Amino acid sequence: MFQVFASKDARKRRSNGVGESAPEETLRESEDGTRVAHMRVAILGTGFSGLGMAIRLKRSGEDDFVVIERASDIGGTWRDNTYPGCACDIPSHLYSFSFALNPRWSRMYSPQSEIRDYLRACAKRFGILPHIWWESELLDASWSEEERRWHIQTSGRELTADILILGNGPLCEPSLPQISGIEDFKGTLFHSARWRHDYDLAGKRVGVIGTGASAIQFVPRIQPQVAHLTLFQRTPPWVLPRMDHDIPAWQQRLFRILPLAQRLVRTRMYWERELTALGMVYRQDALKSGADIASRYLERSILDPALREKLTPRYAMGCKRILLSDDFYRALNQPNIEVVTEGIREVRAHSIVTSDGIEHEVDTIICGTGFHVTDTEFARHIHGRDGLALAEAWREGTHAYLGTSVAGFPNMFLLIGPNTGLGHNSMVYMIESQISYILGCLRSMRRRSAREVEIRPGSEERYNEEMQRRMQGTIWSSGCKSWYLDARGRNTTIWPGFTFEFRHRTRRFDPRPYDLRA
């Protein structure tokens, strides 16, 4: 049993390592005599999800929370991905919190460093820094049936919490390719999300595996440096011109002086992109004009017919992620790049061998191979009712009611959970919708004096059946293989509709699908 060691009015304060006092915390004593912190809410991660949740809690008057961060800085995926050319593929004015617009974006598509700095500024502006436990890797989070709270073990400290909110997101665990012999490679190998800035690529023979959203950004940046670059492509992506440009200083001044002007620009951009969902979900023929633009862009950019053939997609536009680039094709025209479409058979000490038997000598391998999205590692560290691991609950595919609640895991919420991803608009919009929903749930718990809230298995099952039913006939079910699909071929990643529908369904918390226990 735990006993309160310090009252709420007499809690100790601790340093958070950044020169600010941390919020007061209740200390409890475990059976072995160890003092353990207790918080009302524990949030995992300081990316858009975790930070947004913390800010909204703070603004609602809740101060009894902690943010658990494995690194020593803010930013999530925008902290970890620092590869050359890293930038957002959603327009800057859409890629910010609705309550904290940024009038100082320098470009139409903001670079990684600006997004990271924006998140840092938000954390400081809204007073979140004192709540963060830095360098605290989550080792285990287990629900105690007897105490009705979560026991959380991190690499730095232990704590208990009434509510656990997972804001770590799906793009946090890099996925390395399972290729025979790759562990025996004698050169330098790294994933794009763990870029080796200490390693000089100048004059190197580089093999890049993958042609996804990361590769099309860093390949044009490293191409002028390397002696030779071999790009191993499994499936050619649909690429549209990005049309990136500077945001002029006068426009930035206007947005600072007149925030309404920026909100109008943001609203126009939102609806322009929302219309894309019409073709992805309801009328695939509506994407034909986009496919025509992409085809003309390819034909205009790649003059070599053989290379153009390699880069021509053979699947419906939108089935995989549509990519934006102004310089990818231009880089592929250079004489020191070769595009290889044969599958990789094995990796040797100093080379990559393809299925046609050709050996491609390389000094460096860079994997632009994405992330563990449908088979995330962190789920093995979350244990709900009766000790059930979230990974086991998701053994046949990830699922969650409104992408937020999982049966068997009381008082736990997900941000950017299953079937909340987008292929056309800003994820920040979806994150804010979920945050409002969770806050509504917490208010409902208070009104009802409930210690415990849990989605009913039947409610979650019906919801997920609806998701899979609606997925049929969408562009994502048109036959291609993508990271949207799990091992069983089910799309458990994308939201199958307009984002404003998701906002409508999460606008208020409805307790009827849940069990609330006093």
Over residues 365-388, the pLDDT tens digits come to 999 987 766 667 889 999 999 999
What's residue 30's pLDDT?
54
Which pLDDT band holds residue 481 (cuts at 50, 70, 90)? confident
What's residue 7's pLDDT?
29
SS (H, E, C) 348-389: ECCEEEECCCCEEECCEEEECCCECCCCCCHHHHEECHHHCE
| Mean pLDDT of the residues in the chain | 90
pLDDT(398) > 50: yes
Mean pLDDT, to the nearest integer, of 431-444?
A: 97
Q: Between residues 278 and 446, which one has the greater pLDDT?
A: 446
Spatial distance between the Cα atoms of 233 and 240, rounded to a whole number of angstroms: 18
Mean pLDDT, to the nearest integer, of 111-129?
A: 97
Which pLDDT band holds residue 33 (cuts at 50, 70, 90)? low
Q: Could you give the C-alpha distances from 411 to 162, 428, 438, 475, in angstroms and in order? A: 7, 23, 10, 35
What's residue 311's pLDDT?
97
Which pLDDT band holds residue 123 (cuts at 50, 70, 90)? very high
Mean pLDDT, to the nearest integer, of 431-450?
A: 96
Which residue in the block uniquely carries the two structure tokens 């930070």?
51
Which pLDDT band holds residue 15 (cuts at 50, 70, 90)? very low
Kindly state the percentage of the chain with pLDDT values over 70.
92
CA atoms within 13 A on the CB side of 24: 9
pLDDT(6) > 80: no
Over residues 310-354, the pLDDT tens digits come to 999 999 998 889 999 999 999 999 999 999 999 999 999 999 999
**CB neighbour class for 128 (10 Å; exposed up to 12, middle 13-18, buried from 19):** buried
User: Distance between alpha carbon 342 and the CA centroid of its chain, in Å?
Assistant: 30
Over residues 135-167, the pLDDT tens digits come to 999 999 999 999 999 999 999 899 999 999 999
The encoded tokens of residue 261 equal 């002007």
- Architecture of the domain made up of 40-173+238-320+371-518: 3-Layer(bba) Sandwich (3.50)
What's residue 310's pLDDT?
97
The encoded tokens of residue 480 equal 């291609």
Spatial distance between the Cα atoms of 393 and 390, rounded to a whole number of angstroms: 5
Spatial distance between the Cα atoms of 202 and 498, rounded to a whole number of angstroms: 45
Determine which of 431-435, 461-465, 466-470, 473-477 has the lowest per-residue pLDDT on average.
473-477
